[in-house]
Structure 1
Amino acid sequence: MNIVDLLPAILAVIVGLVVLVWSADKFVDGAVGVAKFCGMSTLLIGMVIVGFGTSAPEMVVSALSAVQGNPQLALGNAYGSNIANIALILGVTALISPILVQRSVLKKDLPLLIGVTVLSILLLLDGDVSRLDGVVFLAVFFGVMGFNIWKEKKSANKATEPAEAGELAEVSESAEKPMSLGKSIFWLVLGMGLLVASSRALVWGAVDIAHSLGVSDLLIGLTIVAIGTSLPELASSIAAARKGEDDLAVGNIIGSNLFNTLMVVGIAASISPMNQIDGEVLYRDMPLMGILTLSLLVLGFRRKGDGRINRVAGIVLLLVYVAYLTILGLKTTGVL
């Protein structure tokens, strides 16, 4: 294949990368604007809106794979994305800009994610994910999200009750004028759509170029596609961290992993139960996902005050992801 035939793929990679970076910036601006207007924390916005938006492709893949009679694809997609979210995305983000982790996240939100991860491991220990298991996953998801939204609104109401009118006026005058709600929603929706579309264009172009160079489908799936499906989370997390919106970056990962563990697997199992799950998922992928989730609590823990995932921790997370991909590659090529 000559260079002319590769021009569309090369153009898709270049344009996809440019649009990905630009849309991530606008997406974060819109999310922060909506959070401020609604009186909600950027952490919750990251968990609910950003987490949902960046996990939307995984949910679509989950539903389609289940309908087509291959629900275990959703399981690999969900757990693979969770591993990439922590080891790759938080690793890269922390390497670029150390991430501040609020103490409330270490005490409440991360333990919640750990609990959900433990629940998924326990339900999968029998080697099956029944339709009932799927319903349990979905019920837990809606319960967790509903509780978080209720708790956030309750906290916001308590915070505004004691304030005097003069105090509120003084704060509003001194504060920087926020983006309007309409403009925030516009950038949020547009940024989310372009994030997904540009990441897909980038993956398509990269796969086409790799094929022309003789790279195998297996290696492409383990590298380009695996990383490509996590590009929305990666771009939005880096953009949030660089803008000082660490809560949004952390909330994005927590929310995305909650969506993947509960919604993605729950949707697939509810449509088509998963029987005889591959043993490697149980003994390799799930334990790594659990260890990485627990590591967030360990890496971010401080005796006093907020925690921080620094550059050293980012390097460690990236090395773990590289080692994971290496093991996958050696396993599939028969070396291990």
Structure 2
Amino acid sequence: MVLSIALLILGFVLLVYGADKLVEAASSLAVRLSIPNIVIGLTVVAFGTSAPELAVNVIAAVNGSGAMVMANVLGSNIFNTFVILGVCSMVYPLTVKSNTTWIEIPLCLLAAVSVVVIASDQWLDGMNSDLVSRSEGLVLILFFAVFLVYNILVSRNPEAAAEEVPVGHMSVIAAVIWLVLGLAGLVLGGHLIVTNAVSIAQSFGLSERVIGLTIVSIGTSLPELATSLAAVKKKKVDIAIGNVVGSNIFNIFWILGLSATIYPVDVRPETFFDIAANVLAALLLFLFVFSGKGRMVERWEGSIFVMLYLFYLGYLLFL
């Protein structure tokens, strides 16, 4: 048990550090190739912050751990909205840009609702079990392709192109070395997390679902938490909310889509509670942005987010 916990922590360290170095090395290479900053932001940085979830889910999918796949995606999205946006808005009210208000937040809600549709085989099709199939995974990936095209079109806006994007400053040789090491850290860290999380769950009599919704999803969401809090401290609140909303869309359309394409994901009856919580989080974000004065998430709304997450966590662990 002690060894499993130590290896799980080591896995998170390798995962987060590997993702950070991967982004820094890849962005350095992109700069050397004269790729514009905004393109780096849309690809390397955006993909890099969600690399921990991707690594864990791909490894879980290859191992056939469907419960871990769905739990990590849903748990990350619930944590992102209720905790990251909740805490950030309590620090400083989050003003929302027009594009985020009218396109990205509704798209985030659509992504949450799409999980309800693709997971409800018994209810909609009269099947014997619920499953996210390979064909449904490919449909999610197509949605993600549309989201990428939207981002490319937004990036052509002069205001977006002028935004500062973090890039690395390594030599080519150092960048290649760190790129390889970063990828190795992601793979090894993801493997340690999946195998030891399952081991810990079995030792405590917990399900893979509960471990995935709590320890694993919170751990893989650390990059988004760090990025959003840093943005709020600099009063760049639009970056904080855009980062979370984009990550939620990314998690469902790309990570769940790719995972289901690798190996179909079984959906157990208890998972529908988590699916409902994910829809509630996206719906409340949509409603909060349109309530009150202006387009923003205020401090009192952020406190509601945090309280809802504490209730959700209590339900998972004690009921």
Structures share fold, TM-score greater than 0.5: yes
2:316 equivalent in structure 1: 328
Partners of 1:91 and 1:315 within 8 A in 2: yes
2:110 equivalent in structure 1: 115
CA distance in 1, matches of 2:99, 2:167: 27
Give the fraction of aligned pairs with identical amino acids, expressed as a percent.
34
Offset, 1:300:
1.8
CA distance in 1, matches of 2:72, 2:94: 26
2:63 equivalent in structure 1: 68
TM-aligned CA distance change 1:291 to 1:223, over 3 Å: closer
CA distance in 2, matches of 1:239, 1:327: 31
Deviates more, 1:312-321 or 1:47-56: 47-56
2:282 equivalent in structure 1: 293
CA distance in 1, matches of 2:292, 2:303: 23
Deviates more, 1:88-97 or 1:126-135: 88-97
Q: Write the deviation string for residues 278-331 of structure 1: whole angstroms up to 9, x where unpaired.
A: 11112x1111101111111211225775x2212211111110100001000123
Partners of 2:69 and 2:265 within 8 A in 1: no
Which amino acid is the alignment partner of residue 132 of structure 1?
Answer: S
Q: Where in structure 2 are the equivalents of 1:197-216 lying within 5 Å?
A: 216=204
Q: Where in structure 2 are the equivalents of 1:64-103 lying within 5 Å?
A: 64-103=59-98
Offset, 1:93:
1.4
Deviates more, 1:242-251 or 1:48-57: 48-57
TM-aligned CA distance change 1:151 to 1:104, over 3 Å: closer
CA distance in 2, matches of 1:63, 1:224: 17
Residue 128 (structure 2) pairs with residue 137 (structure 1): no
Offset, 1:91:
1.1
TM-aligned CA distance change 1:180 to 1:254, over 3 Å: closer
Which amino acid is the alignment partner of residue 290 of structure 2?
Answer: F
Partners of 1:86 and 1:292 within 8 A in 2: yes
TM-aligned CA distance change 1:51 to 1:121, over 3 Å: farther
Within the candidate set 207, 225, 238, 1:234 is matched to: 225
Q: Where in structure 2 are the equivalents of 1:125-274 lying within 5 Å?
A: 125-126=120-121, 127-153=130-156, 155-156=157-158, 183=169, 216=204, 218=206, 221=211, 223-274=214-265
Larger Rg: 1
Partners of 1:48 and 1:255 within 8 A in 2: no
SS for the counterpart of 2:50 is helix
TM-aligned CA distance change 1:328 to 1:51, over 3 Å: farther
TM-aligned CA distance change 1:57 to 1:93, over 3 Å: same
TM-aligned CA distance change 1:224 to 1:242, over 3 Å: same
Which amino acid is the alignment partner of residue 52 of structure 1?
Answer: F
Question: TM-score by structure 2 length?
Answer: 0.70
CA distance in 2, matches of 1:87, 1:329: 17
Which amino acid is the alignment partner of residue 254 of structure 2?
Answer: M
CA distance in 2, matches of 1:49, 1:312: 35
SS for the counterpart of 2:65 is coil
Within the candidate set 280, 284, 293, 2:270 is matched to: 280
TM-aligned CA distance change 1:49 to 1:292, over 3 Å: farther
Partners of 1:51 and 1:253 within 8 A in 2: no
CA distance in 1, matches of 2:287, 2:171: 36
Residue 311 (structure 2) pairs with residue 308 (structure 1): no
Offset, 1:179:
8.9
Which amino acid is the alignment partner of residue 266 of structure 1?
Answer: G
Offset, 1:147:
2.6
Q: How many residues align?
A: 276
Partners of 2:73 and 2:251 within 8 A in 1: yes
TM-aligned CA distance change 1:223 to 1:117, over 3 Å: closer
Offset, 1:98:
2.1
1:166 equivalent in structure 2: none
Offset, 1:137:
0.8
> RMSD value over aligned CA atoms?
4.3
Offset, 1:152:
2.7
CA distance in 2, matches of 1:268, 1:149: 24
For structure 1, the 5+ residue unaligned runs are 161-174, 332-336
